[in-house]
Amino acid sequence: MSDTTKTLEEMIVAAAEDKKATDVVVLNVDGVSSVADFYVVCSAKSTIQVQAIADNIEDELKKQGIDLLHKEGHRQGRWILLDFGTGIAHIFVEEEREYYNLERLWGKARAMDTEEQLSDNK
């Protein structure tokens, strides 16, 4: 991978962090889930911020020619799911993330913080 080429998960993480997403984690669910290879899970302080993060992820990936396959929860803005095929972004308002605790639910998945994820791909 060249220095200018970003992986799908790196693009999702970068777009989320551009809108100040917090507690960003990449869960490697390859071999654990038949739905996707990885989940990016992040939090926001308000529904407006959750929507802004989701919109930015969708817009930034679209600029790279990556189409969104499915979107759920945008109207309510408490938990938005963006499905890009091999990767899924979950953007939560903080209370919803604590309640659903995807990291526990997908406990067999390897969780990596964004610093570890980025250093693994260099």
**Per-residue pLDDT for the chain (122 aa), expressed as one digit of tens each?**
333 457 999 999 999 999 999 999 998 887 767 788 899 999 999 999 999 999 999 999 999 999 999 999 999 999 999 999 999 999 999 999 989 887 765 555 555 655 544 444 44
Alpha-carbon distance of 23 to 44, in angstroms, equals 9
Q: Which fold is adopted by the domain 8-112?
A: Beta Polymerase; domain 2 (3.30.460)
- Any idea where the domains of the chain sit in the sequence? 8-112
Alpha-carbon distance of 122 to 117, in angstroms, equals 9
Please state whether beta strands 38-44 and 87-93 pair in parallel, antiparallel, or not at all (unpaired).
parallel
Looking at residue 34, the DSSP 8-state letter turns out to be: S
Q: Where are the alpha helices (DSSP H) in 1-122?
A: 8-18, 47-63, 94-100, 102-105, 114-120
Contact present, 71 and 50 (Cβ < 8 Å): no
The pTM score is 0.83
